[in-house]
Structure 1
Amino acid sequence: MESEPDNLIGCKRCGTCCKKGGPSFHIEDLSLIEEGFIPAKHLYTIRKGEPVCDNRIDKIISAPSDMIKIKGQGNRWVCFFYMEKENKCDIYQYRPIECRLLDCQDTSGIEQIFGKNLLTRQNIIGKIEGLWDMVTEHDQRCSYEEITKLFDKSGKKKSKYFLQEVSQLIEYDKALREIVVAKGGLESGLLDFLFGRPISIAFKHYL
């Protein structure tokens, strides 16, 4: 493993932070993706308005904007790039700013950037015509603002209309993902980065 910066000399390399999920990306991390050090296929997007846990207050909140994060290993939260047997980071030299600032003994550094200057999909693919249009259309059709309104309107008793709307959104989301892979030639690993987590998973937060 590469040498540690001075503020992390006391790190015990217990892997606790790596096992609790990958970091959120900030504008400062854009070059890591653009230059291929962290491939987009290993990332996923929490979309604006999506229910997400704020670890600072241990409460579910609505994401204020896109949150680009590193995927876990299989069905676990463990960061994709954490090498458990070796107990080290596979991209240590190119790790995101949150990883660089995180100090278990003094969290003031990471707290100062929490939720600020977050990297968005538009920062990364906004200039790619066609692809960005598709992402924007999906966001509009499957926005969490509309999903929340639909849920609030239905109340505890789910109406036939509610179930139909839910079914249509899930089918649209599923079909779009299948089309961009089959006809667009995109890697399936990019889908959760481009369109966020499947709508079928999203509705589990509401039901």
Structure 2
Amino acid sequence: MEKSFEIILPDGTVYKPEKESVVQGYDPDGKPKKMKFSMKTECQRCGECCKRDTPVILKEDIILLKKGVISEKDIYTIREGEKIRSFIDGDTYYSSMELIKLRPIFASSTCLFYDPEVGCTIYEMRPTVCREFECWSQNITITGLEERRLTRNDLFGSIDIVKEAINKHEEKCSLYKFNDIVEEFVSGKEEIFEKIVEMILFDSTIRDWAKKKLEIQDDVLPLLFGRSLMEIAPLYGVLIEKEGENFLIKVMKEAEQ
């Protein structure tokens, strides 16, 4: 006599499928199916890494700029000492070196070239870091990053006036200095306010100068000078707002704790 297939549910009730039915995960005779595993050994274009962060651009990727695969509008600079939020664990850390990266889609961590329908839109000509990254491997670090990374000096080192402007901006708006004076302000030293404003004014002025004198477009400024101090200020615990000719600096609640 053929034995019927039964599953006892957690509440004690008995589930009996129709004779013709097959329960997912079980053979028709009621025996659990063997699980099958396959090792991932190559990129399957799932898009997970594209949505988590954007790649660092290396010296060998300069060919992508020359061929027009990416443009100066598609990349921006992370300055040395810049505070960055990790989209993997949510923590913040300071960049130990200057990095040039692809821009993310506005207000997200997703790469500019990622399309939910098709995945990476420049897959065949994607940056080196994307090619070398193996999400299935234990080794997900970039080897030789300090030597291989593309820098602003690689791009603009031969243009004296641009190089001088970048160096002057680094001198006046050092992120190490910005972090120090913001920490003093947050701790209650309100006399530091003017120093913060001086840095913000210079940061804004040199960007306006580059637009007018060098005819640099707005969306290229983050490559030349990094993100503005007003834009990155919340990562340092303060909100900076401009009202007419005046600045308002607010200490964020998290920074007060």
Q: Would you call these one fold, judging by a TM-score over 0.5?
A: yes
Are residue 37 (structure 1) and residue 69 (structure 2) matched? yes
1:201 aligned onto 2:231: yes
1:131 aligns with 2:172: no
CA distance in 1 between counterparts of 2:121 and 2:172 reads 37
For 1:27 and 1:72, locate their aligned partners in 2 and report how far apart those are by CA, in whole Å: 20
Q: Which residue of 1 aligns with 2:214?
A: 184
**How far has the Cα of 1:74 moved from its partner?**
2.1
Q: C-alpha deviations, 1:155-175, integer Å up to 9, x for none?
A: 51141x321111121122122
2:233 and 2:87 mapped to 1: Cα distance? 21
Quote the residue 2:197 is aligned against: 167
How does the TM-score come out when normalised to structure 1? 0.84
Cross-structure match for 2:108: 76
Q: CA RMSD in A?
A: 2.3
1:67 alignment partner, one of 99, 105, 124: 99
Superposed displacement of residue 85, structure 1 = 2.2
Decide whether the 8 Å contact of 1:23 with 1:99 is kept in 2. Answer: yes
Percent identity, aligned pairs only, is 27
Contact 1:26–1:116 (8 Å) recurs in 2: no
Count of aligned pairs: 197
SS at match of 1:201: helix
Provide the secondary structure at the position in 1 that maps to 2:160. Answer: coil
Distance (whole Å) between structure 1 residues aligned to residue 189 and residue 46 of structure 2: 46
**Are the aligned partners of 1:33 and 1:39 in contact in 2 as well (CA < 8 Å)?**
yes
Q: Which runs of 5+ in 2 are unaligned?
A: 1-39, 238-257
**In 1, Cα distance between equivalents of 2:88 and 2:53:** 14
Q: CA–CA distance in 1 between the matches of 2:104 and 2:52?
A: 9
Q: CA deviation at 1:184?
A: 2.1
Note the 1:95-110 alignment, pairs <5 A. 95-108=126-139, 110=140
CA distance in 2, matches of 1:28, 1:107: 24
The answer to whether the Cα contact below 8 Å between 2:45 and 2:120 also exists between their aligned partners in 1 is: no
- Between stretches 113-122 and 49-58, larger displacement belongs to 49-58
Paired residues of 1:49 and 1:65 also in contact (CA < 8 A) = yes
Q: What is the CA–CA distance in structure 1 between the aligned matches of 2:136 and 2:184, rounded to whole Å?
A: 45
Higher RCO (CA < 8 A, seq sep 6+) = 1
Distance 1:54 1:75, change over 3 A: closer
Equivalent residues in 2 for 1:84-163, closer than 5 Å: 84-86=116-118, 88-108=119-139, 110-113=140-143, 115-117=145-147, 118-154=149-185, 156-159=187-190, 161-163=191-193
**Aligned-residue offset at 1:205:** 1.9
TM-score, length-scaled by structure 2: 0.69
Of the structure 1 ranges 97-106 and 52-61, higher mean CA displacement relative to structure 2 is found in: 52-61
Q: What SS does the aligned partner of 2:97 have?
A: coil
Q: Give deviations 1:149-199, integer Å, cap 9, x for gaps.
A: 32344451141x321111121122122212222332111110111100011
- State the structure with more CA Rg: 2
**Which structure 1 segments of 5+ residues have no match?**
1-7
**Equivalent residue in structure 2 for 1:47, among 79, 91, 115:** 79
Q: Does 111-120 or 18-27 show the bigger shift?
A: 111-120
> Could you give the per-residue CA deviations for residues 35-65 of structure 1, whole angstroms, max 9, x where no partner exists?
4322111111110011124678864222111
| Residue aligned with 1:68, SS | strand
1:136, 1:91 → 2: CA distance? Answer: 33
